[in-house]
């Protein structure tokens, strides 16, 4: 089962060290050239190296190929939606509230609050979200899962998330959406599947 955290960690584990390595390499090269150039009285010749640059361009293109391959293979599974998820949750974003709607009619709503009520989901199982917005574009962002999906009014976007471990995942609206954008938070509590079923039944009855 693919998890967005895993995909992020996998790709980041390659991209960030490569980026840091390139940065350090360029800076070291620059420092060496500057130290040598500071002592030089008259400049040397050598103003073109077209063949070398063509070869270097090929090397860069190969690097692009490798990076893109890593990205594509990591992206495909997290973009996929499974036909039969363990749970399907509807998400409705609005200025400035979040509503989570469960198949049995249970709803969890938090309105422009810093301490939103938690929407409960089963941990370790595929949870499918059908998310939309009621007014303007909002962003469903769960930093702990490294996942953002923009919600556009008039369109229901479907995505799967895997909450690998039980715990509280804080979420926030990541797309600026008007005056109280700063306060548009939500919380998702991942619990063991059996515990989730008990929660859903008690919540369903109390309605």
Subset of 141-180 contacting other proteins (CB under 8 A):
141, 143-144, 146-150, 152-155, 157-159, 170, 172-180
Main-chain dihedrals φ then ψ at residue 46, nearest 5 degrees = 100, 85
Write down the residue that tokens 């998330």 correspond to: 161
Stretch that binds other proteins, among 58-66, 85-93, 100-108, 118-126 (CB under 8 A): 58-66
| CA–CA distance, 161 with 81 (Å, rounded to integer) | 9
74 belongs to the binding site for other proteins (CB under 8 A): yes
State which of residues 61, 83, 84, 207 lies at the interface with other proteins (CB under 8 A).
61
7 belongs to the binding site for other proteins (CB under 8 A): yes
Write down the residue that tokens 């039969």 correspond to: 84
Q: Which of 1, 9, 2 is nearest to 144 (CA)?
A: 9
State which of residues 1, 17, 28, 60 lies at the interface with other proteins (CB under 8 A).
60
Write down the residue that tokens 């991942």 correspond to: 190
Provide the minimum distance between the beta carbon of 191 and other proteins in the complex, in angstroms, as a whole number: 22
Contact indicator for 116, 189 with CB cutoff of 8 Å: no
Identify residues 186-205 at the interface with other proteins (CB under 8 A): none
State which of residues 83, 84, 105, 114 lies at the interface with other proteins (CB under 8 A).
114
| CA–CA distance, 89 with 98 (Å, rounded to integer) | 12
């Amino acid at each position: 089962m693919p998890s967005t955290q895993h995909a992020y960690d996998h790709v980041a584990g390659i991209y960030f060290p490569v980026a840091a390595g390139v940065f350090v390499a360029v800076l070291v090269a620059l420092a060496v050239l500057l130290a040598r150039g500071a002592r030089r009285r008259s400049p040397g010749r050598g103003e073109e190296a077209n063949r070398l640059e063509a070869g270097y361009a090929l090397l860069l293109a190969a690097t692009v190929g490798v990076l893109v391959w890593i990205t594509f293979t990591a992206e495909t599974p997290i973009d996929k939606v499974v036909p039969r998820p363990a749970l399907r949750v509807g998400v409705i974003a609005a200025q400035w509230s979040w509503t989570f709607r469960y198949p049995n009619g249970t709803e969890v709503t938090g309105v422009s609050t810093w301490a939103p009520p938690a929407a409960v989901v089963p941990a370790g199982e595929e949870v499918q979200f059908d998310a939309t917005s009621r007014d303007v574009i909002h962003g469903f962002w769960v930093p702990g899962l490294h996942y953002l999906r923009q919600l556009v009014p008039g369109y229901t976007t479907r995505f799967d998330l895997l909450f690998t471990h039980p715990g509280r995942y804080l979420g926030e609206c990541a797309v600026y959406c008007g005056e109280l954008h700063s306060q548009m938070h939500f919380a998702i509590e991942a619990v063991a599947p059996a515990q989730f079923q008990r929660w859903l039944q008690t919540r369903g009855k109390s309605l």
